[in-house]
Structure 1
Amino acid sequence: MKESDWAILNTLYHEPNITKAAEQLYMTQPSLTKRLRQIEDEFDTTIAIRNSRGIALTPQGEYLARKAGEMLRQFKEIHQQVMEMNDGNKGTLKIGVTNSYGRFQLPSLLNQYKTMYPNNQFEIVSGLSSDVLRKVNLNELYIGFIRGDHDFQGVKHLISVDPGYIVSKRKIVLDDLPNIPRIEYELDPLTVKLLDSWWVEHFTVLPRKGLVVNHGDTCREMIANGMGYGIFLVPEFIEDTVDLYKLPMYTKDNKAFTRNTWMICNNESYKIPFVKNFIDFVSMTK
């Protein structure tokens, strides 16, 4: 059987619904059904039976589906070993990024790299830094761009040191913050902890809760409409705004309050030539 056939069985094991499984596999439902029947013919057995909820795997189907994960890992290992033998000029870079890095920094970076290595392809996954870190550790991604000083054992390069800003519609002073609603957006747990530590350094009361939104852009627009203040550790969100007041953040000992951005890669992935090429390129251009 082909690798794609094992991928079908593995997907059906985790998603026993033909329609949803087809979406995950980027196939049409008829194509998936037809291929499943061909696999059944190949093994001369029934793999799945339709029911009101979707499908149910037969004992034979469940056995094959469990084996599918093992087979896919073997295929991945074979691919990786072959990639390590080539010169790094061709391959698919699986990269994880935070939403903000994917929006502001990554596009131009990939464009520059593509001019040097036109045969390289990219698979981009976005999420919180903790999610990207986990996927790099599990070898689901070759490279990650994360915010904050996470514990990581592997190849790690500092990309930038980003200053923090308190942003509001009108001029404010630091002592006013406990009395003004804070507009928050989704942040990685480590960044939340970092901001909490900064707050405790400066205040003895909790921040006044305001709106909670899902993205920095939304937070900025709420601030522009006078709904409260926000804290930004990605300057690109606010660098072109002339109608908002930006108060630089400092630690208790009057040092700039910053957060680091890192590029990470596990040690095994770094052995792959096209992965190493990309990391070396970013390290030289940052």
Structure 2
Amino acid sequence: MDEKDWTALKMLYEEKNISHTSERLYISQPALTYRLKNLEKEFQTTLFFKVKGGIEFTAEGAYLARYSDEMINHLQRTKDHMSNLQGEVKGTLRLGVSSNFAQYKLPKILKSFSTRYPNVQFNVNTGWSTDIMNQLDSSQVQLGILRGNHDWYGKKQLLHKEKLCLISSEEVEMEKLPDLPFINYKTDTSLDSLIKGWWHDRYSKPPFVTMETDRQQTCKEMVKNGLGIAIVPEICLEPSDNLYNYELLYRNGDSVERNTWIMYSEDSLQLSTVKSFIEFLNDHPGI
């Protein structure tokens, strides 16, 4: 097996579909099928079988797919350390970043960092913070930027605190919120719990939910058009939104805040790319 075989088998195990896998690999289905048949010949076993809508892996195929995942990670770590041995800040920096931070903060950070370190390339995965935690645990990324509070065995450093805000297209009275149309959006469990905790602290009635959206940005557009109120992190608000926004406060007067963390393993600090990126974030907290 070589690196292309490992990658093909790993992606096929994720997709459980030949056509979807070939699209992700940018190769034809016949080329992918030929490569997989050669693997079956090499190991003298059947790796998968067809089912309605896709394929299922045999026990041997699943074992080899997990082996492929380990080998890809091992090869990437080897490449990282080989770049590091040359004494320069260069190589590929693999980041896992929560979606909101990636949308509103990360582009400016990466642009400034790459200006200082032009020989560093970026491999960025974005998603909910729970997804980034899984990527950290499996070493798919070297460093995670996550929002909310998560348990982590490695290094964990607070990047900044952020307020939550109620937004509306017109002025509202906070004591009347339970009677106003409320727009929900899909988000990770940590933010959802924070919002619900504040609501239960302030009101005995549940919110009057009139709409559910799949994205925070969609929710904000609905609010702009006067369809209801919503609660969002401060990071996604811009002056051009022309919205009324109200800082959320608990009954005791404390602000409702959400933490953004940098998380990484102790071993990753041996890499000049990771170490330099963390130092850059610490030196530029306002970016």
Q: Using a 3 Å threshold, how does the CA distance of structure 1 residues 57 and 209 change in structure 2: closer, same or farther?
A: closer
**Structure 1 letter corresponding to 2:114:** K
Q: How far, CA to CA, are the matches of 1:262 and 1:58 in structure 2? A: 40
1:163 aligns with 2:163: yes
**Partner Cα separation in structure 2 for residue 200 and residue 57 of structure 1:** 47
Deviation (angstroms), 1:96? 1.4
SS at match of 1:240: helix
Partner of residue 3, structure 2: 3
Quick check: 1:144–1:264 contact (8 Å CA) kept in 2? yes
Q: Deviations over 1:24-60 (max 9, x none)?
A: 333232432344455567x395766885756687898
Tell me, yes or no, if the aligned pair for 1:100 and 1:234 is still in contact at 8 Å: no
The alpha carbon displacement at 1:14 in A equals 5.0
Distance in 2 (alpha carbons) for counterparts of 1:125 and 1:118: 20
Instruction: Please tell me whether the aligned partners of residues 222 and 228 of structure 1 are also in contact (alpha carbons under 8 angstroms).
Output: yes
Cα gap change, 1:169/1:159 in structure 2, threshold over 3 Å: closer, same or farther?
same
Instruction: Give the Cα–Cα distance (whole angstroms) in 1 for the partners of residues 241 and 160 of structure 2.
Output: 21
Distance apart, 1:280 and its partner CA? 1.2
1:144 to 2:144 alignment: yes
Which residues of structure 1 form unaligned runs of 5+?
Answer: none
Deviations along 1:181-210, one digit per CA (max 9) or x if unpaired, are 211112210111111111121111212212
**For structure 2, which runs of at least 5 residues remain unmatched after alignment?**
none
Q: Is the counterpart of residue 97 in structure 1 residue 97 in structure 2?
A: yes
Residue matched to 1:218: 218
Residue correspondences, number: 284
Work out the CA distance in 2 between the residues paired with 1:49 and 1:204: 54
Deviation of 1:118 (Å) = 1.5
Q: Hey, what does 2:251 align to over in structure 1? A: 252
Q: Structure 1 residues 47, 75: closer, same or farther in 2, change over 3 A? A: farther
Do the aligned partners of 1:185 and 1:215 also contact (CA within 8 Å) in 2? yes
Aligned mates of 1:257, 1:15 — CA distance in 2: 40
CA distance, structure 1, for counterparts of residue 99 and residue 269 of structure 2: 24
Contact 1:48 1:55 in 2 (8 A): no
2:49–2:58: 8 Å Cα contact kept in structure 1? no
> Which residue in the other structure is 2:29 paired with?
29
Cα RMSD after superposing both structures: 2.8
Q: Verify the 8 A CA contact 1:88 1:275 in the aligned structure 2.
A: no
Q: Which residue of 1 aligns with 2:278?
A: 279
2-side partners of 1:198 and 1:268: how far apart? 38
Distance 1:229 1:276 in 2: 42
The residue that corresponds to 2:114 in the other structure is: 114
Letter in 2 for 1:226: G
Counterparts of 2:57 and 2:172, CA distance in 1: 62
Change (3 A) 1:47 1:85: farther
Q: Provide the C-alpha distance between the structure 2 equivalents of 1:275 and 1:195, rounded to a whole number of angstroms.
A: 33
Answer whether contact 2:165 2:248 (CA < 8 A) is retained.
yes
Work out whether residues 164 and 233 of structure 1, in 8 Å CA contact, stay in contact via their aligned partners in 2. Answer: yes
In the alignment, is the contact (CA less than 8 A) between 1:181 and 1:227 conserved in 2?
yes
Contact 1:163 1:249 in 2 (8 A): yes
Matches within 5 A, 1:146-225: 146-225=146-225
Q: Give the drift of 1:87.
A: 2.7
Q: Give the letter aligned to residue 120 of structure 1.
A: V
CA separation of 1:270 and 1:23: change in aligned 2, threshold 3 A: farther
How far does the alpha carbon of each residue in 1:127-161 deviate from its partner, in whole angstroms, 9 at most, with x for none? 11111122112211111111112222322232222
Letter in 2 for 1:184: N
Q: Give % identity.
A: 31
Stretch of structure 1 that moved more, 23-32 or 88-97: 23-32
